[in-house]
Amino acid sequence: MHINVRGTRKIISNVSSFTPRYEFPKYSMPLTDFKGHQVKALKTFEKLLPQMNMIIELRDIRAPLSTRNVVFDRIARKEHDVMKLVVYTRKDLMPGNKPYIGKLKNWHEELGEKFILLDCRNKTDVRNLLKILEWQNYELETNGGYLPMGYRALITGMPNVGKSTLINSLRTIFHNQVNMGRKFKKVAKTGAEAGVTRATSEVIRVTSRNTESRNEIYLIDTPGIGVPGRVSDHNRMLGLALCGSVKNNLVDPIFQADYLLYLMNLQNLNDGRTELYPGSTNSPTNDIYDVLRRLQVNKSQNEKSTAIEWTNKWRLHGKGIIFDPEVLLNNDEFSYKNYVNDQLEKLGDLSYEGLSNKLKGNPNQVF
């Protein structure tokens, strides 16, 4: 990809000679982590869609492009009436700069997409989402009346973006309202690894009928669905690895660490203040082995384990880092609408038979 970068290169601290990399090398790696159970989930997803009143697509705020899956757009386009809401998760890990949110707003306006940000574990944030659901339910009810199957929302998204955590938080709020004090079991399994949920769930009730509404609100949890190789590329695979949306061991940890370094240097080019790795403000480097040496706690720790430790730390708790270079590079030519259309074009027709056959015949899962 050729990137046309605007000529306003800020100087990082007092190191005037340092130039970050604007492109990342294409190391050898698989370009997708698409699996058989995901094809099955897609078929169920498509079948369930006509019964749905809303699709809630979760994406990781640190990688708004990489965790956007056009497979969902392709399926949802067939159902014109269904409302779609994008929920960016991990708000708590988001960079605190206003321009980023401004950029996101502009992008979504281009497509007329509604979005909110939340931390799936934060009660206030999750209550706000519940209010949106209740409001939509109320609107529908006042216009159309009673829904015998209740108001239904399908929760979708890439693996590990927080779907099950969000459902559990919504359930906890509901449970505390109706069953004060008594313990209850989590309904959706959660975990730090991609692919914890492997089957589409039964309907999960999150509100009861009350004086304002006769419709109950239900959610349906789905397994995380990755992108087929034809809409993926090296940068995307690396971004997804850093978010935890593909299996950790698919991409060499040194490549992941190097990609993180590439992103950090680009980020410092924009912000110019944060100590993202040892010496990043006064002696920045593009050499990952140099950074790993700086990070090593003792001589016996090897480069690979240092890389794993460092990327894990950022994947799980790293605050203020963005994993999509398109967000960090001030590229005037970038258009969100064109990006999405380009992805849809690359995806082409979604043929499940084709996907299943290619999965069977291709151990590298690249298709």
Ligand X SMILES: Nc1nc2c(ncn2[C@@H]2O[C@H](COP(=O)(O)OP(=O)(O)OP(=O)(O)O)[C@@H](O)[C@H]2O)c(=O)[nH]1
- Summarize as ranges the residues that interact with ligand X (CB under 6 A): 89-90, 92-93, 119-121, 157, 159-165, 190-192, 194-197, 223-224
State the DSSP code for 201. P
Beta carbon of residue 63, minimum distance to ligand X (angstroms, whole number)? 13
DSSP string, 128-181: HHHHHHHHHHHHHHHHH---TT-EEEEEEESTTSSHHHHHHHHHHHHHHHHSTT
Decide whether 74 or 91 has the Cβ nearer to ligand X: 91
Determine if residue 224 is labeled as part of a ligand binding site: yes
Is there a binding annotation on residue 342? Answer: no
Tell me 117's DSSP state: E
**For ligand X, the closer CB: 24 or 34:** 34
Q: How far is the CB of 363 from ligand X (least distance, A)?
A: 22
Q: Residue 164, annotated ligand binder?
A: yes
Question: Is the CB of residue 69 less than 8 Å from the CB of residue 226?
Answer: yes
> Nearest to residue 155, comparing CAs of 48, 247, 235, 28?
48
Residue number of the CB atom closest to ligand X: 224
Contact 48, 76 (CB under 8 A): no
Annotated binding residue at 272?
no
CA dist 138 → 41, 128, 141, 144, 298 (Å): 30, 15, 5, 10, 60
Query: Is the CB of 69 or the CB of 165 nearer to ligand X?
Result: 165
Residues 153 and 133: beta-carbon distance below 8 Å: yes
Would you say 89 or 270 has its CB closer to ligand X?
89
161 annotated ligand binder: yes
Q: 87 - beta bridge partners?
A: 58, 116
Q: Which is nearer to ligand X, 159 or 253 (CB)?
A: 159
Residues 42 and 71: beta-carbon distance below 8 Å: yes
89 is in an annotated binding site: yes
- Token pair 């290169």 is found at 9
The reply, when asked if residue 90 is annotated as ligand binding, is yes
By CB atoms closer than 10 A (0-12, 13-18, 19+), residue 155 is buried
Closest separation between CB of residue 225 and ligand X, Å? 8
User: Number of helices and strands (H, E) in the chain?
Assistant: 12, 6
Instruction: Write the DSSP string, 223-284.
Output: ------GGG--HHHHHHHHHHT-S-GGGS-HHHHHHHHHHHHHHHHHHH-----STTTTTS-
- For residue 49, the minimal CB distance to ligand X (Å) is 19
Whether 137 has a binding-site annotation, put simply, is no
Q: Least distance to ligand X from the beta carbon of 195, Å?
A: 5
Please say which residue, 161 or 355, places its beta carbon nearer to ligand X: 161
Smallest gap from Cβ 61 to ligand X, in A, equals: 8
69 is in an annotated binding site: no
Distance of CA 252 to the CA centre of its chain: 21
Least distance to ligand X, CB of residue 158, Å: 7
By beta-carbon proximity to ligand X, the closer residue of 137 and 156 is 156
Residue ranges for the known binding site for GTP are 89-92, 160-165, 224
Residue ranges for the known binding site are 89-92, 160-165, 224
